[in-house]
Amino acid sequence: MPQYKAPLRDMRFQLNEVFDYAGHYASLSNGGDATPDMVDAILEGCATFCEEVLAPLYATGDSEGCSITDGVVTTPKGYKEAYKEYVAGGWQGLSHPQEYGGQGLPMSLNLLKSEMMGTANWPFTMYPGLSLGCMNTVFQFGNTEQKNLYMPPLVSGEWTGTMCLTEPQCGTDLAQIRTKAEPQPDGTYKLYGTKIYISSGEHDLADNIIHIVLARLPDAPKGTRGISLFIVPKFMVNADRSLGERNSVKAGALEHKMGIRASATCVMNFDGATGFMISEKNKGLEAMFTFMNTARIGTALQGVAHAELSYQGAVPYAKDRRSMRALTGKKDADHPNDALIWHADVRRMLLTQRAVAEGGRAMIYHAAKLADHMVAGVAEGNKAKYDDYDDRLGFYTPILKGFLTELGLECANLGMQVFGGHGYVKDYGMEQIARDARISTLYEGTTGIQALDLLGRKVLLQSRGKVVFGFTSEMIDQAKPHLLDGGPIGTMARTAFKRAIQWKVLTLRLMLRANKDRDVVSAACYDFLMYSGYVMMSHFWLKQALVAHKALASGKGSESKEFYAAKVQTAEFYFERLLPRADGHKKSMLSPTSAIMQMDNEHFSFN
């Protein structure tokens, strides 16, 4: 079984040496308490909790799964105790306002926590993780009474929350929502309908569950403009926050899933459940998608988490398992055969996992700094600041979510491949990582939806290419001083420089083609997203390589020379072996749409 060990050395390298988080926190209105010592203490404490409490429950939770009896869901053995320890440690309120019992630290610290927790045990992490969307919505759109009533127990973790969107007839297309909300004389609403795929919709970890639910009023206009948002508690809440009678919302079933089996994914039935409107009438969708960019970063973390965990399982196996002799001759002279790690193809798989995990971590840590400024804008009541950083973050999120989860799934499968046949059986734990990783490309918007959002909405409609031009300018600025350098740094800088120009040209070409052929957007969007992901990651690998190379040259740095050398070598691998994949996506996105659209619908099958 993979033995999770928090990658604190790489986390610290990126936080302190690559992204200067100490300076970043000092610039935030809510960052004063996030001193280097405080951040280090949080990292150490969370690492211990993840390694000693959460990681041991990962395999057992999958084997046992959740169960349901008469609408009551029971989580696997050890989950209740682990959740109590999580709450006692104050982890839930790490980045939430002090006025509601939180610690008021920057949001990025919550992401660092979530990365470690998610890598150690993603199914468990979903229980407190789903509360974040609920808390963020109540915090930004709830009235004073709602915030005072619900926020403190949500922030402490005493209660958990959900987001109830999907229905049997609709997933992404929320215009089809049918759940009804009937107004009552006392100002409340009665909700009727069924929601599906509701993560943490019912469980035995917390005393109450606060559901944030999309529904339609009787006089609501059709489409997305007619959706309102409601707070529906599992147990009614009295003015002193004591719990009242059971509300008419119940889990009708648990979904039987391929992976994340220890996470309760529920069918939720609202049979006249009492609800309270939050935000404005018919503007629920806008409120529901508050902080959606940060939610998608949270899902992007799953790509990094599963790449990291699979890598941590694969490396020891590759060092211990022996098969044949290396092609360049005997390596382990004391044995009749050599360890797997001497074989170039196995090293290719391991280095792919490492490059994705550490490259993805860098991408997310950069985006997290933008998220910190965005959340600070809300705390400061500065809407202009919030909107500005939300827009900036909006360019990164579909790339992070779509690209990193696709590569995280690939890396989970590579971990199985390193193990060979042993990877396919449950005894070694690698197949569970692959099963758990599979959902990441589907929820919070499939890869195709993220791709449409990136190319169709963010690039073509909203910015007319400016978001790409802005980022590629950053790439050029970073690479330019090193274009004449020798060695791997110069080679990588020149490659990144060329890719930045190429990305600009491709964006312009797609803009011109889309003016004549609307199908171009849908036909090219997946390849555009994946191309964008590979090129964006090259920027962040060059950033890490530059820092590591400087530390090696100067002899100064907080890490060993072996650590820095491995960083540069992993960057070289990325540029030589993974970045060229972008060329295939480039060719595909520019190919004629006729290859996709010309076939008659009836000719897809001749059965």
Residue 592 tokens, joined: 């004629």
What is the per-residue pLDDT for 137? 92
The H or E element that residue 263 is part of is none
Q: What backbone torsions phi and psi does residue 337 show, to the nearest 5 degrees?
A: -150, 170
CA 455 – CA 395 distance, rounded (Å): 10
In this structure, whether the domain defined by 160-287 belongs to CATH 2.40.110.20 is answered with yes
* Residue recorded with tokens 């147990």: 235
CA 44 – CA 50 distance, rounded (Å): 10
What Rg do the C-alpha atoms of the chain give, in angstroms? 25
What is the per-residue pLDDT for 387? 87
Give which of 411, 354, 361 is closest to 569, Cα–Cα. 354
CA 493 – CA 549 distance, rounded (Å): 13
Mention every residue, 6+ apart, whose C-beta is less than 8 A from residue 340: 317, 318, 319, 321, 322, 323, 346, 418
pTM: 0.96
* Residue recorded with tokens 């509360």: 131
Q: What backbone torsions phi and psi does residue 192 show, to the nearest 5 degrees?
A: -130, 125
Q: Domain locations in the chain?
A: 8-141, 160-287, 291-445, 455-597
CA 338 – CA 343 distance, rounded (Å): 9
The H or E element that residue 245 is part of is strand 243-246
DSSP 459-518: IIIISTTHHHHHHHHHHHHHHGGGTT--HHHHHHHHHHHHHHHHHHHHHHHHHHHHHH-T
The H or E element that residue 218 is part of is none
Are 25 and 94 within 8 A, CB to CB? no
What is the per-residue pLDDT for 203? 98
Are 572 and 488 within 8 A, CB to CB? yes
Q: What backbone torsions phi and psi does residue 598 show, to the nearest 5 degrees?
A: -75, -25
Contacts by residues 35-44 (CB-CB < 8 Å, ≥ 24 positions apart): 38/105, 39/15, 39/109, 40/12, 42/94, 42/109, 42/112, 42/113, 43/6, 43/8, 43/11, 43/12, 43/112, 43/116, 44/8
Give which of 352, 458, 350 is closest to 402, Cα–Cα. 458
Q: Which residues of the chain have pLDDT under 50?
A: none
What is the per-residue pLDDT for 27? 94
Measured CA to CA in angstroms, residue 601 lies from 311, 521, 542, 606 at distances of: 43, 20, 46, 11
What's the CATH class of domain 291-445?
mainly alpha
CA 457 – CA 295 distance, rounded (Å): 18
* Pair type for strands 180-183 and 159-164: unpaired
Are 216 and 180 within 8 A, CB to CB? yes
Instruction: Give catalytic residues, as residue numbers.
Output: 444
Could you say which architecture CATH assigns to the domain 8-141? Orthogonal Bundle (1.10)
Measured CA to CA in angstroms, residue 259 lies from 58, 63, 427 at distances of: 12, 11, 16
Mention every residue, 6+ apart, whose C-beta is less than 8 A from residue 256: none
* Pair type for strands 265-278 and 249-254: antiparallel
